[in-house]
Structure 1
């Protein structure tokens, strides 16, 4: 966490929303609103003067919207960015996830009613998210147009296992959409096993995440339906507020059970179910995120004989969940984000399916 108060720059064109956000944030003793702007242009001019610890920005704004603003910030003067938006329509969530791809850290849903009472209900969650993200280090992003998109060739090292796994399970929280894109985008259409994925995400944004990944990746990305048999080359996410598990026949099973480690869907619930059905024939990967969801599940996979991987500290947005798994001795491999897909393609699956 930063020393001294968290210095916040609010970028919001709605006067009502701006007042309500300021009221909430100014009540927090460890936070200080050091600047407000109505659009990205105004905010860019303020940054050198107010030197924010964290920027909270809306999506739709005149002159310069949230996406262009985020791209400019991350190219010129990198700073942690939280997107606060009520946009959950398909066309809007595509933009939200492009903002995350551009370098913003996370999304927080703005109450759609705009009532003070609704903002008050989300207060504790918003303040907690700000406190976590304010301590995150961010780096300059080159502009999208200047980044050549080239596939990473699989490694040629010998497989690390005698038999190839039959399923891949991924779990992530804060910073997860960017991490998932970095991995899944490198997996070819011919990837030989199904992929199960749990990503902690605010209500209303799941379909946007699925659409964004599906548009960006060769694999098919979909929301799981109960009773379906997982197919190779398909990535399955549980519906919002549903745990994702496997039944005794290996078919997808969805339940609205109690939150585990504070989350439904829970990464650990999915990992434990995969461990129970596939035993030694699975790979579990635990990615960036706050809290400890997934740590116990990754441990269950390791105990069942499956291969387990945790993202390393340097490449995590928040080194919470992987840290807890590593402390349990649950991670057989600790890898930087950029090394995970090449490791899977080369060392785990051998690459001869390409």
Structure 2
């Protein structure tokens, strides 16, 4: 029998602490090993209790949830779920600050705040803890340099990727006319790591598909726009992709390209599974752009995107999968690698430098 998941609760309300503790301990697979009233108390408990997952509130004193998350990621990297009244759909800035700091997910406290309100959400909360317990969190950058050998990147443990310059001698240039990126769990942090490094003169359109909870898409767009030198927007129906713009599909719609390369939407029932689907978009990009397509598949659970990346590989496009060491969840990239769809397997910090080298920027 597997040991229960060790959970640390960080919450300044004694009432909410009791409610959450009761909910989590109703599952035999979860054990609440400790509680803390603020981030400072929790930091002292972590090395003593060795939790596997942390749930924290946001608004606490003297150390709030954001500050606590930042400290945990520096000292004791662990999966963090933020449960707060301040992570509603309208709290864009707070939500994505937390994700940028390293929190893996957010869960809005019920607005009513009644015990019955929490009980209705009990199964969702328990499910999130079970998912996060399988996530390994890394903060140390993997040290390596990358060289090209028969069109494959070879990892050599020598120096930080961020310090390595992809020179003309190492990386062959390609004709790239579009960049497609897919991500799921842990994706906002990975998207930030790539998009924030692309220059204002980035010469091709970027089409992103990020699995995200309903209602948070607009917040993701605004956050990425603030962190990027590029324009970030929802792809318009019939719009022709333009260089230097990052496009995301609207909620509950797959994003594809018509025979003229303009954006079209399709319904969820056309392609069962995630909607929007990474594979649907990647396959459409492969069909229209062929060997001039570049694709990146980032952290995420499941296999969405793997077959789409294979389609881009089969037409001769550039394909990059995020490596296991820097993934929050090594699901989707692993599936793509297993299919032979990933031409390169890179830490997230090396993806933008490789793209810029390929484009000779």
Match of 2:157 in 1: none
Residue 199 in 1 paired to residue 210 in 2? yes
Point out where structure 1 has 5 or more consecutive residues left out of the alignment.
143-149
1:132 and 1:187 map into 2 onto residues whose CA distance is: 32
Deviations 1:60-118 (A, max 9, x none): 2343221111122223333221223452355x321222222222223334444445565
Moved more, 43-52 or 253-262: 253-262
- How far residue 300 of structure 1 moved from its aligned partner, in angstroms, is 1.6
CA gap 1:34/1:336 in 2 versus in 1, 3 angstroms: same
- How far residue 299 of structure 1 moved from its aligned partner, in angstroms, is 1.3
- How far residue 256 of structure 1 moved from its aligned partner, in angstroms, is 4.0
Question: Aligned-pair RMSD on alpha carbons?
Answer: 2.7
Residue 88 in 1 paired to residue 88 in 2? yes
- How far residue 195 of structure 1 moved from its aligned partner, in angstroms, is 0.3
Moved more, 298-307 or 187-196: 298-307
2:300 and 2:120 map into 1 onto residues whose CA distance is: 23
Point out where structure 2 has 5 or more consecutive residues left out of the alignment.
142-161
Deviations 1:327-350 (A, max 9, x none): 11111211121211111110x212
Partner residue of 2:227 out of 216, 239, 243: 216
Match of 1:250 in 2: 261
Match of 1:266 in 2: 277
Q: Choose between structure 1 and 2: higher strand proportion.
A: 2
CA gap 1:245/1:187 in 2 versus in 1, 3 angstroms: same
> In 2, are the aligned partners of 1:183 and 1:340 still within 8 Å (CA)?
yes
- How far residue 263 of structure 1 moved from its aligned partner, in angstroms, is 1.6
For residue 235 of structure 1, give the secondary structure of its aligned residue in structure 2.
strand
1:309 and 1:114 map into 2 onto residues whose CA distance is: 45
| TM-score in terms of structure 2 length | 0.84
| TM-score in terms of structure 1 length | 0.86
> In 2, are the aligned partners of 1:170 and 1:286 still within 8 Å (CA)?
yes
Residue 350 in 1 paired to residue 360 in 2? yes
Match of 1:314 in 2: 325
After superposition, residues 1-354 of structure 1 pair within 5 angstroms as 4-14=3-13, 17-86=16-85, 87-88=87-88, 90=90, 92-114=91-113, 119=118, 122-140=121-139, 155-157=167-169, 160=172, 163-258=174-269, 262-346=273-357, 348-351=358-361
> In 1, are the aligned partners of 2:136 and 2:329 still within 8 Å (CA)?
no
